[in-house]
Amino acid sequence: MMSDSVSSVPAQGSELARPAGWDSLLPRPQGVRAESASETFSLTAGTGIISDAALLTAARLFAQHLADGCGVALHCVDAAAPLAQALQVSVRFIHDDSLTSSYSLAVDAVAGIEVRARDAAGAFNAVATLRQLAGVAAFRRSHSAATSVQFAVTSFEDSPRFGWRGVLLDVARHFMPKHDVLRYLDQAHAHKFNVVHLHLTDDQGWRVEIKRYPRLTEVGSWRTESNVGPWRHNIHDGRPHGGFYTQEDLREIVAYAHARGITVLPEIDVPGHAEAAIAAYPELGCALEGDVPATVRTSWGISTNVLRPNWETLEFFKNVFDELMDIFDGPFVGLGGDEVPPLLWREDETVVAFAREQGMDSVDELHGWFLGKLGEFVVSRGRRPVVWDEGVSEHLPLESVVTTWRGYVSGASAMAQGYDIVLAPEQDLYLDHRAAEGEQEPIPVGFVRTLEDVLAFEPDAIPHFENQGEGIVENQGRVGRLLGIQAQLWSEQLDSPRRVDYAAFPRLCAVAEVAWSPKTDRSQGTPASAEFVDRLVTHHLPRLEAAGVEYRPLDGPLPWQQRPGVSGWPRDLNEEIEASGSGEFVGGWHEGMELHVSELDVDMEGATSAATSEVRPG
């Protein structure tokens, strides 16, 4: 006869019965004090988690992982609440601001789990660790009621190597539905990333509701069709694409991130990459009487159709950023600033006259002027602007953080000028680039960046950054610091969250290791590289599977992860280094570069077609 009662005892051999140890953790923690191979603590349903008030959100997150994934429900209360006295306590979260590490963790077979954290961030990091120690089940969304979870007895302290551990989601080129953004925030926390950079606008789409300017989303949030593959092949799919987040959606995203210790960095890209805004409000652009009006761009690549730099455009974007800063309460606000060809400005008499009025010798300087003015506005609201490295100029406030992507020299230069920087180099940390040689990779673009290549990324080994962390040069009383590293998931070729998963994982796990774990040589063939891959395969890929992450198998794509018939645009890093003439890779737009010419740019064809070198294939 079938029983109608639900078993509350985890089956032998189930994910709950297999506790993981310190050596399963990814990223690897800073240090280990002691661990017992055989002893375990049995965390029992119905017992309590008590937490100092400052850490309570993190403690609740741990309780949620246990309840959802493991089916073990615990009470979670403020340690100062009367109810705390009545609980049989199995987990304590203690706020200890004298701690020199981010957090410490002690699992005792009898006394249970004790987390000490210097601050809320430390407690969120501890929860990411505890979730891994709880076993694979803790990465599932649901589980039938169980009675206990086993934890290996252990004791260690842990701290991150870098303060900024970022990942960029490009929700502009292909819209990522809100629930997948939330899923990515969960994955970011699971890997101890603490900054999620949302690239919210670009030529191909505007994804954030701005109440004062409704056409930004009415017109700018969708396009009639998209390139299939790189723009150079000029193939379009004839299929509308779009989507945007309401302000309430974004507040939910911010709150969800906050409840995981993550800062969301919103980016509105100006004065280039703004064709969707220009399509919505043509006066923002440089079209002249008789020109074909801009539409939301349907091709990838760099657009010459950039904002018209003047006081009116500046006022418009101050209003946009005002609403943005009302939604996103974090310390950083992204202004973009990358890839701004000044070609239309040079042909436009009113822009030339405006530059002259500002005392400039060249309209090219308006790029820095526009970002500088907007940056000052952001600073006046108590936030720090974040710009791509092309945005550095004498106009840029020193409070700005520079995400450096065009090789290494731009980062060193920004730091030498006193800016804090985040290393986001295209040749190392662009995860939309192909993960292996060969046509089996879906739409293979960019350089080959294998899992092992990404893992080998070592900021200290870059000639310009040997002294990272100490700061390099002082400028007006400021020392430029290397804040950390950031991976990018540009989505021109990543047309669905499944495809983002494939590009991101497991290489993002390697970025997490570099960002968090102690410095060591992880280049290919080293013991550290082999140990990482072993830990990934043995312990971490099962976690990703449990979480429903459709990662790239280490031996190549599954049949349905391929895109037969869609050509890519592979690039060769060594060739580009050689072509640069400087012995270094230098990406980004430069004078004379070959660009895709849209209808509005037709007049500029002569100016743009003379070039020979390549744009980052999008």
Active site amino acids: 202, 273, 339
- The size of the interface with ligand ACM (CB under 6 A), counted in residues, is 4
CB atoms within 10 A of CB 222: 18
Strand 482-489 with 420-423, pairing = parallel
**405 lines the binding site for ligand ACM (CB under 6 A):** yes
Helix (H) or strand (E) holding 575: helix 573-580
State in angstroms the smallest separation of the CB of 406 from ligand ACM.
8
In the complex with ligand ACM, which residue's Cβ is closer, 92 or 273? 273
Nearest-approach distance from CB 339 to ligand ACM, in angstroms: 5
576 belongs to the binding site for ligand ACM (CB under 6 A): no
3 state SS of 313? helix
Residue number of the CB atom closest to ligand ACM: 338
- List the alpha helices (DSSP H) in 283-348: 311-327, 343-347
In the list 202, 339, 495, 550, the residue contacting ligand ACM (rule: CB under 6 A) is 339
* Whole-number Å distance between alpha carbons of 200 and 509: 24
Residue 249, interface with ligand ACM (CB under 6 A)?
Answer: no
Nearer to ligand ACM by Cβ, of 156 and 447: the residue is 447
The smaller minimum CB distance to ligand ACM, of residues 90 and 427, is found at 427
- Name the residue nearer to ligand ACM (CB basis): 42 or 393: 393
DSSP bridge pairs for 403: 388, 422
In sign, the C-alpha dihedral spanning 566, 572, 573, 576 is negative
| Cβ at position 405, least distance to ligand ACM in Å | 5
CB distance 416 to 360 below 8 Å: no
Token duo for residue 498: 């499944």
Q: Which CB sits closer to ligand ACM, 533 or 573?
A: 573
The minimum distance between CB 232 and ligand ACM, in angstroms, equals 17
DSSP summary character for residue 68: I
For the bound state, the minimum distance from the C-beta of residue 385 to ligand ACM, rounded and expressed in Å, comes to: 15
Phi-psi label, residue 441: left if phi above 0, alpha if psi -120 to 50, beta otherwise: beta
Pattern 290-329, binding to ligand ACM, x per CB under 6 A?
----------------------------------------
Q: 165 has which bridge partners?
A: 485
Distance CA 266, CA 210 (A): 13
Binding-residue pattern over the window 138 to 167 for ligand ACM, x denoting contact by CB under 6 A: ------------------------------
Q: Least separation, in Å, of the C-beta of 389 and ligand ACM?
A: 8
Of 481 and 616, nearer to ligand ACM (C-beta) is 616
The three-state DSSP-derived secondary structure of 54-67 is HHHHHHHHHHHHHH
Among 222, 345, 388, 585, binds ligand ACM (CB under 6 A): 388
Choose among 148, 153, 164, 91: nearest CA to 123: 91
Query: Smallest distance from the beta carbon of 410 to ligand ACM, in angstroms?
Result: 11
Query: What is the number of helices (H) and of strands (E) in the chain?
Result: 20, 23
Q: Determine, following the binding rule CB under 6 A, whether residue 408 of this chain makes contact with ligand ACM.
A: no
- Cα(94)–Cα(116) distance, integer angstroms: 5
Q: Please, which residue, 79 or 424, has the CB nearer to ligand ACM?
A: 424
Q: Please say which residue, 275 or 338, places its beta carbon nearer to ligand ACM.
A: 338
Q: How far apart are CA 62 and CA 49, in angstroms?
A: 9
For residues 101 and 59, the answer to whether their CB atoms sit within 8 Å is no
In the complex, the smallest distance separating the C-beta of residue 492 from ligand ACM, rounded to whole angstroms, is 10
Backbone CA torsion sign across 248, 251, 255, 260:
positive
Which of 119, 74, 76 lies closest to 94 in space, CA to CA? 119
Peptide bond into 240 cis (omega under 30): no
Q: Is 338 in the site for ligand ACM (CB under 6 A)?
A: yes
Starting at the earlier edge strand, list the strands of the sheet with 89-95.
34-44, 148-158, 103-108, 112-117, 89-95, 48-51, 75-78
CA distance 465 to 463: 6
Shortest Å distance, C-beta 388 to ligand ACM: 5
Judged by beta carbon, residue 50 or residue 386, the one nearer ligand ACM is 386
Amino acid letter for position 140 = R
Q: Using CB under 6 A as the criterion, which residues of the chain lie in contact with ligand ACM when the complex forms?
A: 338-339, 388, 405
